[in-house]
Amino acid sequence: LAKTTQPISMDSYEGQEVNITCSHNNIATNDYITWYQQFPSQGPRFIIQGYKTKVTNEVASLFIPADRKSSTLSLPRVSLSDTAVYYCLVGDNTNAGKSTFGDGTTLTVKP
Amino acid sequence: GAGVSQSPSNKVTEKGKDVELRCDPISGHTALYWYRQSLGQGLEFLIYFQGNSAPDKSGLPSDRFSAERTGGSVSTLTIQRTQQEDSAVYLCASKLSGAYEQYFGPGTRLTVT
């Protein structure tokens, strides 16, 4: 399983765009990149997933360069309610196996 | 529809006692995971079930930990002779076969005194 590295914490202000980068140098050909969000006292919640280039949904965008050794989660115009821990997960779903969550990035949005 | 449910939501036990934690996955989800999350830490994988295949137990920290999944649905995580270091939130997640998105339950907060 590919090991992931994320910043431990980030601070932002309401209305700003936030970019959280995850490094995964050992990503395998079949691996996808998935991001989860976790609020205190709750289980993680799926945000977005991608394989290459750019993926956008109503919540976020995910940018993946051609070498796929990193990925960037982009949250547009964050609000206080976006304060949470964000996890980058890299894994191959075609082979049944474990998933590995890192320590995540704690995003704090300030007013 | 109903999401993943876990019970109990909180469990306080004395050191040395056995505990059982229950997970009810989303109906139709063939894959089920157990994770452990210590205070302020990330998620630590414990065990993975996929359909009728043998579970991946590679994340279980010791032989005091075991899990089973009956009928391909409900799962029980058992911790024998609990220790204080077992105190954590235990999270269960399920997903459809072939999908990547895991759906998490609210967790069980275990406190060993």
Does the pLDDT of residue B103 top 50, yes or no? yes
CB contact under 8 A, B35 and A101: yes
Contact A99 B31 (CB under 8 A): no
**Token digits of residue A85:** 């821990």
pLDDT tens by residue, B71-93: 879 999 999 999 999 999 999 99
User: Looking at residue A18, what is its pLDDT?
Assistant: 98
Whether chain A has a CB inside 8 Å of the CB on B49: the answer is: no
Taking residues A68-72, what's their average pLDDT?
Answer: 96
Mean per-residue pLDDT, A40-58: 93
Tokens for B61?
């920290």
The proportion of chain B whose per-residue pLDDT surpasses 90, expressed as a percent, equals 73
User: How sure is the predictor about A93, in pLDDT bands with cuts at 50, 70 and 90?
Assistant: low
For range B18-30, the mean pLDDT: 95
User: Is the backbone of residue B63 left (phi > 0), alpha (psi -120 to 50) or beta?
Assistant: alpha
pLDDT higher than 70, residue A44: yes
Cα(A27)–Cα(A2) distance, rounded to whole angstroms? 5
A70-75 and B108-112 beta bridge pairing: unpaired
Q: Which amino acid appears at position B62 of this protein? A: S
Rounded Cα gap, residues B70 and B63, in angstroms: 20
Q: How many CB atoms lie within 10 A of CB B85?
A: 9
Q: Report the alpha-carbon distance of residue A32 to residue A94 in Å, rounded.
A: 10
Q: Three-class SS of residue A57?
A: coil
What is residue A70's predicted lDDT score, i.e. its pLDDT?
95
DSSP state of A42: S
pLDDT at residue A95 is higher than 60: no
Contact list, B9 vs chain A (CB under 8 Å): none
pLDDT band at A3 (very low <50, low <70, confident <90, very high): confident
pLDDT of A62 reads 98
A21-35, B6-20, B76-90: least confident range: A21-35
In percent, the amount of chain B with pLDDT more than 70 equals 99
CA distance B73 to B68: 10
Query: What pLDDT score does A72 carry?
Result: 97
Distances (CA, A) of B74 to A2, A108, B49, B66, B82: 30, 36, 11, 14, 22
pLDDT reading at B1 higher than 60: no
What is the pLDDT, as a whole number, of residue B70? 85
Q: Is B96 on the interface with A (CB under 8 A)?
A: no
A102 lies within 8 A of chain B by CB? yes
Q: Is the pLDDT of residue A96 over 60?
A: no
